[in-house]
Structure 1
Amino acid sequence: MNPYNMYYDELVELIYKIPLGTQGWNKFATRLNQVLNLSLVHILALDFQKQAFSFSHSVGVITEEEIASTEVKYLHYSVEDDPRWGEFLRPERQGWYQCHHTVSDEFVAHSALYQNILLPIQVRYTAAHELILDDKLCVLLGVFTSIERQPLKKEDLDFLDQLIVHLKRVVAIQRHIYEFSTKAIMGYALIDKLSQPIMLLNLAGQVSHLNMAAKQLFDKNTILKIEDNKFILPEPYQSQLMENLKHIEYLFKSRQLLSEQILDDGCIKIIDENDEILYIFATLLISEQEMKAFGIRPSVMLTFYHPGYSSTVDAHLLHAAFNLSPAEAKVALSLLEGDLPKEIAQKHQVHLDTVRKQLHSIFKKTSTSRQAELVKLLLNLPRYNLNI
């Protein structure tokens, strides 16, 4: 008799509670870690059409902050960097994939992935089983053990096989959360209506969408490139962009970043071949519904500003550059038109005190102190952090 059978009913009940709340996976994975003495339980999705990881959620013996940091580092390796993927995705493979059959101790000793990412979190041995595997999507359950624990044995895998049946049902019901969902986050039609050049990226740096203004900018500017569907900048800007994306994902996974928050260090300043300045602002882009979910890899919206190619200052650019609210943007744009605070209050049918409060907030966000200084700044948009 399998010694784990006493935990079967408890774990199955936790599995069917997974769709009921954001803590469902955490509770199931935590208990599975305890029962099997695992280092980590990982739900990971690979979107074959995007050739990128679309979902990742880990629960392990280390803290959530350590897991978030480790996940982000791992997710920025390519699929080709991890030899386990090739073996796992072999068409003839059936049942559980176990890495110790193909990943040698010698390989581990010389692998940056293992030495820098996996071994520090007590992950040496991997057992993985597909929950969804078709032409578009792979969702797998990975269970990981340490060098001390050694690989899972037959009785461990036999018990997990009993749970896999139920996990497949739950994952199939929630399939939509494991696929890239840029269209659900923000419709392309809305992006296309904005006059500023805008690009949507996933956090691997792959392009999801360009609006017409961005396409025109790319046609006219030789610095910005898209190669193999990946956004490319000259160095050192490319490294800065990728570090920004990693930082965004880490803050998001560790619950330190809010929807559509502007990052203090999310601006990249580039001097082009004509000594003109091009600015790129990075903004997290994810719906409130997905903020409450788990594992999803958010998209990032890049807003470009180049004095030679961009349209005039508008509310979207003010939000991207300074995080101005819609009401604050109206006040700032009215100042650019030469209106005084009293005239702005009358135009927008609000109290003068309201406009003054909005001005105070605008001064704070733009690091200015007087209306003349603010107008001068807006006429020479955009300002960027002095430490960049």
Structure 2
Amino acid sequence: MDDISTAIVRFIGHKEEDAQQLGWLLSNAANAKFSFEHTACLDNFIKNSHAQQGQVIILDLTENSENRFEAVALLGEKIPQTPVVVLTGDDEKIGRNAIHAGAQDYLVKSQLTTESMSRSLLNAIQRHQGHQRSAETAPLLDSATAVLNRLPIGVILVNADTKILFFNGKAKRYLEQGDGLAISTDRVCRATLPSESRALAKLLSDTLSPADATKTEGDFAISLTRMESDYPLNVMVAPIGTGAAGKGAVLFVSDPSEPVELSVETICKLYNLTPAEGRLALGLTNGYKLDDLAAEWGVSMHTVRSQLRQIFRKTDTSRQSEVVKLILTGPAALQATSLL
């Protein structure tokens, strides 16, 4: 738990004796300093309140009121930044119902102690802050997922137990095909062939182990045989994560037989190519030869070679391999639309 040197406690209730008891109990707390305030009117409190770091509300629900849970929901709506802990009588069911209505915790009046109340209030503040952080980071996670789905290769994240935590759209396609790479019933990433599955498991284990200075990048790559294709799936594994969330690994998966799904229009805009030159650049990227492309498009080799010279000039390259590398390592390699 984060250190909370001071917590502002605001008690909302009509009974002055309850306010005095709560204030006295909190004044004896050893694990935090509590600033205690009391107000009798919920509406006035909502009207005049403003969010403060380390603030928590104790809402009195001991009185028999039909709209007691509406008050909890109202506080959550009007002051969402502030956690609410309710004070109940001996009926703990009221406390549980209040949690369903949005409260962080509940206190039973007959069981109040300094230690239990202090712990409940501090936990409520921490729990509420965690919920807020989750709500704030959700859009960022959605954006990160969208970015990964635009990559032209498969991306699979696994935890320290090699169980799959996430896969992008391209990896989803490979896993659903179940040819070369698959998911076991316990969500462990495995290869189709038993021998290669053992090799992949060892590769992941080595990746998650302490760094070995004698290993090179080639030691963390593997080709997985596919029954339905003459080409294997190529997989490279890298470690990821070292913090409290634990260590894991990322698998980058590619299919050498799969056409590169790039936009001719994007290539043209990035490198100032004409549509014909962009089409030729994409054809080279997909491994086609000049004479094959000329025959397919019904143009002469002279025309294709002329277009290639223009591509060299505009991209400051001199070889076809340099053009291919330029395109595959540039922003054109990102998918224009989501694969999901």
TM range (shorter): 0.3 to 0.5
Which of these two proteins has the greater Rg computed from alpha carbons? 2
Greater relative contact order structure (CA < 8 Å, 6+ sep): 1
